[in-house]
Structure 1
Amino acid sequence: MLEVDVIGGALPAERVEEAVAYAAASAGFDHGHVAVSFVSPERIAELNLTWRGKVGPTDVLSFPIDEDDEDPLGERELGDVFICPEHTVDLTEAVVHGVLHLTGMDHETDEGEMLALQAEIMEWLR
């Protein structure tokens, strides 16, 4: 079972849970824990500087936790997704994007697979 904690009310919890479930399942994850937090521009700018060395706010940041967990039956902590609504065009798409990063996908290093999958998931969610 996939457990989702939603912190902040920028998007209904049910919508966040649905987007997390689709993104995680598309990458083969059907159990574990994900936290999605909607934060202020100041908070995301702080995280962006601390963890990426980039100044200023951004739309979404992902922090995977159990990247190398090989126990298929254990409760996996996939990680945390932080979204800044003031810097995000589509909140649902930001959730999907962040969760895909938690599953190990990276649009900065792949051949377009992550963004193609993201677009496909967004079609399912529309």
Structure 2
Amino acid sequence: MTVRLVWNDEQNALEIGEPLVARLNELLKLAAEAEGVESGEVALSFVDDEAIRALNRDYRNLDKPTDVLSFSMVESVEDEPGILYGGDDGDDEYERIGGEADEADDGNDDDDTFVEPLGDIVISTERAIAQAEEYGHSVEREIGFLFVHGFLHLIGYDHADAESERIMFGKQEAVLQKAGLTR
């Protein structure tokens, strides 16, 4: 299984250390396993309220900060043929880029192995800190909750109605419980 987290820190409200990153890697693996996701890369950015407000305004037409945003790279079209790329040598042979893979997986999980991106998650640490205080739990738990929430959005879950919210939040809580991040 190759599920990988890459991250960057663009904020000053919270020191992002190795223990938190290790916890997020654990949550990613647990959530991916629970959902049957065998490979993919998640890009996580920690930002401040100003940065997430700009993203929320630009992509959702909501001019206010939010706690987490997800930008999925997962295609919803089944049996997509992928892009065919013809070489510059003038022949009629094509190479498939994307779509169904024609090569067998060699099982090598080295970090330099290409892993298909699942998408980007953006977390406002300022919102996470405020919400952790409001809900009476740790900042680590709040960031873990937001991260798993964002991951589930990346793979297609939503909470547009009461039933889908119940399902999605139940899945989040199950992953957090398994990781020992209780309220």
**TM-score, length-scaled by structure 2:** 0.63
Q: Which runs of 5+ in 2 are unaligned?
A: 10-14, 80-99, 106-113, 133-141
Contact map agreement 1:67 1:104 (CA 8 A) in 2: no
User: Residue 79 of structure 1: which of 98, 109, 119 is its match?
Assistant: 119
Distance 1:68 1:75 in 2: 18
CA contact (8 A) 1:61 1:83 kept: yes
Shift of the 78–55 alpha-carbon distance from structure 1 to 2, 3 Å rule, reads: same
- Of residues 51-60 and 102-111 in structure 1, the stretch that sits farther from structure 2 once superposed is 102-111
Which residue number corresponds to residue 105 of structure 1? 157
Identity among equivalent positions (%) equals: 33
Q: Give 1:62 deviation, angstroms.
A: 0.4
CA distance in 1, matches of 2:74, 2:171: 22
Amino acid at match of 1:2: V
Using the alignment, how far apart are the partners of 1:80 and 1:56 within structure 2? 20
Shift of the 58–111 alpha-carbon distance from structure 1 to 2, 3 Å rule, reads closer
CA offset digits 1:33-86 (Å, max 9, x no partner)? 111111011110011011111111110000001233764768421000000011
Q: After superposition, where does 1:40-51 map in structure 2 within 5 Å?
A: 40-51=48-59
**1:3 alignment counterpart:** 4
SS of equivalent residue, structure 1 residue 55: coil
Counterparts in 2 of 1:111 and 1:93: CA distance versus 1, 3 Å: closer
CA displacement at 1:106 relative to structure 2? 0.5
Q: Is the 1:24–1:100 contact (alpha carbons within 8 Å) kept by the matching residues of 2?
A: no
Moved over 3 A (4+): 68-75
- 2:125 corresponds to 1:117: no
Structure 1 CA distance for aligned equivalents of residues 45 and 115 of structure 2: 20
Q: How much has 1:19 moved relative to structure 2?
A: 1.4
Deviation at 1:24, TM superposition (A): 2.1
1:57 is paired with a residue whose SS is: coil
TM-score, length of structure 1 as denominator length = 0.89
- Structure whose alpha-carbon radius of gyration is higher: 2
CA RMSD of aligned residues (A): 2.0
The reply on whether 1:15 has 2:16 as its aligned counterpart is no
Query: What is the total number of aligned residue pairs between the two structures?
Result: 126
1:34 is aligned to 2:46: no
